[in-house]
């Protein structure tokens, strides 16, 4: 039986990127491709959601890998990842991401040249992803690169685990065992950490999804304990806010630890809530199962373009926010509708041809 709530949680994570990256335009700690006023409540939304929503994406990918390897060989799995992740990564870097650096150059550096001149500069200028001021970057497509690498690194372990025919005893995976597992990603965070995005941390989250959170008995337990987990997750997020605003050396260390603990508990709570309330399908849900992945690829470029023009159009922040989110969402969906109709663009952006049955999740 298909776990529709896994698909729906993934779709909601992708949709969350529209408000999340819109709020990045107004964050209070770093620049962005286009940066407006510093708006504390919008910045707080990022602080609230960042501990759990991208980690949740890697956990969901691990769960989906467990389901995929039940009916795929190693060769089929690698082939699927290559066409679903690596090919869209390449075409995204060539065709989608450069526009973000173009608008960043115009906004931050007063660039007045044409797009194609900047396109050449994109591939010949070393970028600085921390200040978003132009030059080469993979942008938001780091997720595709990480997930592709992690999938290949994890494959031998996953195949060995499935071949041995002996799984973890799910009856012992109660909350006293599940909650301390937050320490595993925390311990691996220093491993291959690039600009705050750790392959080690996300690898462990992927593997926890594969080994632990793919087990139906565990998911039933999370559903049963969904409200206590939700309350605990919110309390930990509140603690994260406290340490963030302390801001001294002790506060930053505590914040980093609390962020991982809060994120893990929130992931457990969200899986329980999702199993209880999101295990359904329908026309809209089925549409976003197919659309969410290419929409992820397109969304930030349209959002940066929308922010560039919205900030020039009006000084009213609420109106800017509405314009940015609405325009980027509509344009991303429109781009998906166009690209899904041609075999060449389906190949370029990992879009599966329409079928009578839903495709397997990433």
User: Is the pLDDT score of 208 beyond 90?
Assistant: yes
| DSSP assignments along 274-336, one per residue | HHHH-----HHHHHHHHHHHHHHHHHHHHHHHHHHHHHHH-S-HHHHHHHHHHHHHHHHHHHH
Amino acid 281: pLDDT: 94
Cβ atoms of residues 7 and 278 within 8 Å = no
What average pLDDT does this structure show over 74-83? 96
Kindly compute the dihedral angle of the four CA atoms of residues 141, 143, 149, 153, in this order, to the nearest 10 degrees.
-170
Least confident of 78-87, 99-108, 317-326, 352-361: 352-361
Helix (H) or strand (E) holding 197: strand 197-198
Residue-wise pLDDT tens digits, 339-362 = 999 999 999 999 987 654 444 445
Cβ atoms of residues 26 and 38 within 8 Å = yes
Nearest CA-CA partner of 85 in 135, 24, 136, 155: 155
Residue 283 CB coordination number (10 Å): 6
pTM of structure = 0.94
Cβ atoms of residues 136 and 122 within 8 Å = yes
Residue-wise pLDDT tens digits, 290-316 = 999 999 999 999 999 999 999 999 999
The residues near 99 (Cβ < 8 Å, ≥ 6 apart) are 115, 301, 304, 305
Amino acid 361: pLDDT: 47
With bands split at pLDDT 50, 70 and 90, how would you rate the model's confidence at 245? confident
Amino acid 359: pLDDT: 45
């Amino acid at each position: 039986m298909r776990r529709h709530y896994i698909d729906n949680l993934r779709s909601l994570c992708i949709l969350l990127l529209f408000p999340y990256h819109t709020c990045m335009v107004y964050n209070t700690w770093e620049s962005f491709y286009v940066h407006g006023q510093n708006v504390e409540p919008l910045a707080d939304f990022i602080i609230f959601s960042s501990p759990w929503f991208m980690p949740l994406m890697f956990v969901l990918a691990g769960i989906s890998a467990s389901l995929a390897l039940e009916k795929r060989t190693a060769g089929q799995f690698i082939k699927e990842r290559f066409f679903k992740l690596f090919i869209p990564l390449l075409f995204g870097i060539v065709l989608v991401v450069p526009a973000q650096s173009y608008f960043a150059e115009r906004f931050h550096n007063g660039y007045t040249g044409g797009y194609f001149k900047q396109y050449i500069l994109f591939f010949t200028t070393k970028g600085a992803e921390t200040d978003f001021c132009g030059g080469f970057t993979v942008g938001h497509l780091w997720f595709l690169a990480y997930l592709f690498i992690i999938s290949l690194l994890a494959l031998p372990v996953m195949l060995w685990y499935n071949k041995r025919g002996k799984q973890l005893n799910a009856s012992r995976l109660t909350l006293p065992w599940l909650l301390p597992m937050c320490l595993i990603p925390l311990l691996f965070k220093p491993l291959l950490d690039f600009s705050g995005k750790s392959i080690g941390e996300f690898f462990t989250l992927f593997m926890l999804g594969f080994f632990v959170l793919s087990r139906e008995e565990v998911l039933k337990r999370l559903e049963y304990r969904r409200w206590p987990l939700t309350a605990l997750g919110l309390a930990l997020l509140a603690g994260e806010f406290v340490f963030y605003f302390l801001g001294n050396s002790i506060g930053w260390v505590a914040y980093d630890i609390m962020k991982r603990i809060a994120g893990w508990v929130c992931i457990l709570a969200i899986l329980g809530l999702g199993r209880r309330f999101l295990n359904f399908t329908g026309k809209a849900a089925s549409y976003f199962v197919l659309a969410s992945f290419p929409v992820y690829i397109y969304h930030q470029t349209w959002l940066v373009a929308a922010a560039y023009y919205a900030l020039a159009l009006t000084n009213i922040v609420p109106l800017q926010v509405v314009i940015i989110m609405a325009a980027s969402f509509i344009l991303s969906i429109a781009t998906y509708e166009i690209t899904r109709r041609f075999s060449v663009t389906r190949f370029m952006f990992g879009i599966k041809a329409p079928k009578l049955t839903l495709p397997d999740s990433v």
